[in-house]
Amino acid sequence: MQGLEITVLLGLSMLVGTVLAPRLRVATPLVLLVIGLALGFIPELRQIELPPETVLLLFLPVMLFREAWTTSLRSVRRSLRYIIPMSTLLVVASAFAVAGVATWMGVPWEAALVLGAAVAPPDATAVAALGRLLPAKTFMKLKAESLTNDGTALVLYAIAVALLLGDQITPLQITGMVLLSYLGGAAAGIAVAALAFFALRRMQSTLTINLTLVLVPFVAFLIAEIIEASGVLAVVFAGLIVAWVSPRITTAISRRAADATWPFGVYLLNGALFVLIGLEVQLVLHEISPSEIGILLLITLAAWIALFIVRYLFQWLFSPFSRPPAAASRSLRHRSRVVSTVSGFRGAVSLAIALSVPTVTAAGDPVPGRDAIVFVTAGVIVLTLLVQGPLLPVVIRWAKLPSDDAAIEEYELAERAISGAALAALDELAVEHGVSDRVRDRARREGYERLELANARAVARQRAAEERDLAELDASLDDESPSAMGPIPPGASNDDDREPSSGAVSRPPTDGRVIDSTADAGAGAARPMTGPFEMLAVSDDIDVTQRSPLLRHKEAQRLRLAILDRKREVLLRLRREGTIDDLVARKILAGLDLEEIRARGADKTVE
């Protein structure tokens, strides 16, 4: 098929999947995978192959950079006890467990070890797409694990392929490969992030800023590949660092543009990848002889079950070192391990590893077991997505993990903190920017209204949480299950549409009197204009040609921008001190950016 035909086919498939998924109440990646499997029954479409270089060099850098960008650095630091063993030791244990099962069922040991390396690491993009129902802390830990475990898997893959091709690997070489993969990947990511920092801080154009950000993951991946380190880790390190420093070196309009375009671009790549995985599974299935399909299906099922068992047992054995919450009971820890086990999805990285296996040895002979590697890897991916995906919401409901309101509480805390800091500095900012008392007092009234609104939202959420707890208590006592009210997220409260219930300050009057054109003539009456429109009136005693309204507008603009700068400064300090999470700070920063864009005006934001 021609490139244009493939592009149209992928676009139509993603459109159909996006429309059907909400109606079927199924995650969109699952629908796209099924569409790809269905399209694979058409012989002409099975000619579409997914080169491993395409996944590793086109899809992965962008998707991993976006996932790293939206990962909490604070959560990563606090969960290192969990992330390090899960992204290293668990990958090795899973690989050898799958290799052992496959060898027992007739696959050559070297090929079985390649298979184990391929299916061992959970995939970051699959976790991000299907794990949104998880509690925030669990989701972030699993996401951080899946971002860093590919380095271990790729080292194992290199060792296994060398053995498969008949090469000799010494323990010293293995140690060097591990160190180069991790340390080299981290160094490449840090170096690229440093270059991006010095480049971005000198840029003001939205276009150049976002083009530079697009280049960061590809440059990081390229440098890591050149020195034979882990390109995945390089992209992850670069993404985490650039996301942390971005608020200080980019502009408000560039951040809003990036937040609008990156999710859409990643969605397109992710959707196309799931459709292509479905087509690739059909291609592999039709290339295997019918006599081998039965045993390969059994190996696939056995490998999938082995991954389940090893992941659960590993978490159980390492639970004393993961520092569980003090209030967590044994039952709760067990349910948490089950949820984490079901959340271990496999995806694009596994398939890319399997497809990267050479077809012939140095002597020109076919590589033994390659077809089995590709078939079983594709089968495990399908099982994790089509079985674990729909099963995860059921398991989450069964687990009844405690609700996590920490993000909401931190959001409310940060909103009140930055509003209070801006009010405290208002007089200083007014003097610094030459703002009149009239404009300053109006800003003060607006600031107090915003602060009272934030307080009202916090009170409303606390009351909702109390009602929810009482409802759950009644349900446990009466053996009933009424629907308890959940926490009200910031911005979702009905208080947005009405004044705070207690102690509210009325909205300040406007500077000019706006009077309806149908009012009686007299002082302050409207003066009609010719044509179909009528001009909103101003008081007769104000000369619209004088410069005072323009001056007041410019003063208000300067003061507004100074207030936003002070709020942003306090917000980043709260993030730096660890008082609020990175993602909470990013959410509030997005609101401040929108306010800045409105304050500057449309003519000042087009770059």
Q: How many domains does the chain have?
A: 2
Lowest mean pLDDT: which of 111-115, 219-223, 327-331, 530-534?
Answer: 530-534
Q: What is the mean pLDDT of the chain?
A: 80
Q: What's the CA gap between 214 and 265, in Å, rounded?
A: 11
Residue 14 within any structural domain of the chain: no
Strand partners for 366:
360
Strand partners for 360:
366
Same-domain pairing of 147 and 183 = yes
Global pTM reads: 0.79
Tell me what the mean pLDDT of segment 494-507 comes to.
41
SS3 237: helix
Residue 545 within any structural domain of the chain: no
Residue 446 within any structural domain of the chain: yes
Position 506 scores a pLDDT of 40
Cα distances (Å, whole numbers) of residue 189 to 23, 178, 219, 378 = 41, 17, 9, 30
Residue 333 within any structural domain of the chain: yes
Task: Tell which of 355, 372, 399 closes a domain.
Answer: 399
Residue 33 within any structural domain of the chain: no
CB 212 within 8 A of CB 203: yes
Same-domain pairing of 395 and 413 = no
pLDDT over threshold 50, residue 129: yes
Same-domain pairing of 432 and 301 = no
Matching residue, tokens 């389940």: 308
The candidate with the shortest Cα–Cα distance to 177, out of 160, 191, 156, 147, is 156
Same-domain pairing of 432 and 379 = no
Same-domain pairing of 428 and 291 = no
Same-domain pairing of 392 and 420 = no
Cα distances (Å, whole numbers) of residue 405 to 322, 410, 431 = 22, 9, 40
Same-domain pairing of 311 and 425 = no
**Residue bearing the bigger pLDDT, 371 or 132:** 371
Same-domain pairing of 355 and 503 = no
Tell me what the mean pLDDT of segment 42-52 comes to.
75
pLDDT tens profile 287-346:
777 778 889 999 999 999 999 999 999 988 877 656 655 556 778 888 888 998 898 888
CB 476 within 8 A of CB 416: no
Name the pLDDT band for 167 (thresholds 50, 70, 90).
confident
Matching residue, tokens 């959340």: 343
Residue 351 within any structural domain of the chain: yes
Lowest mean pLDDT: which of 375-379, 512-516, 554-558?
Answer: 512-516
pLDDT tens profile 207-238:
999 999 999 999 999 999 899 888 889 999 99
Tell me what the mean pLDDT of segment 582-586 comes to.
91
Residue 539 within any structural domain of the chain: no
Q: Which helix (H) or strand (E) holds 415?
A: helix 406-424
Residue 366 phi/psi, 5-degree rounding, is: -60, 140
Q: What's the CA gap between 141 and 65, in Å, rounded?
A: 17
Cα distances (Å, whole numbers) of residue 546 to 90, 282, 511, 551, 552 = 74, 75, 15, 10, 11
Same-domain pairing of 270 and 387 = yes
- CATH for 132: 1.20.1530.20
Same-domain pairing of 367 and 466 = no
Q: What's the CA gap between 34 and 31, in Å, rounded?
A: 5
Tell me what the mean pLDDT of segment 147-155 comes to.
83
**Residue bearing the bigger pLDDT, 179 or 473:** 179
Same-domain pairing of 105 and 180 = yes
Matching residue, tokens 């949480």: 465
Lowest mean pLDDT: which of 152-156, 253-257, 526-530, 562-566?
Answer: 526-530
Q: Which residues are CB-neighbours of 237 under 8 A, at least 6 positions away?
A: 68, 185, 186, 188, 189, 190, 193, 220
Position 141 scores a pLDDT of 86
Same-domain pairing of 384 and 459 = no
Task: Tell which of 399, 416, 446 closes a domain.
Answer: 399
Position 507 scores a pLDDT of 41
CB 191 within 8 A of CB 223: yes
Residue 294 tokens read as 């039965």
Residue 70 within any structural domain of the chain: yes
Tell me what the mean pLDDT of segment 423-442 comes to.
86
Alpha helices in 318-405 (DSSP H): 330-342, 348-355, 370-383, 389-399
Q: Which helix (H) or strand (E) holds 174?
A: helix 171-179
Task: Tell which of 399, 424, 455 closes a domain.
Answer: 399
pLDDT over threshold 70, residue 605: no
Q: What's the CA gap between 363 and 347, in Å, rounded?
A: 32
pLDDT over threshold 50, residue 349: yes
The candidate with the shortest Cα–Cα distance to 84, out of 314, 261, 254, is 314
pLDDT tens profile 477-495:
664 444 433 444 444 444 4
Position 215 scores a pLDDT of 94
Give me the domain span that covers residue 424: 406-508+551-605
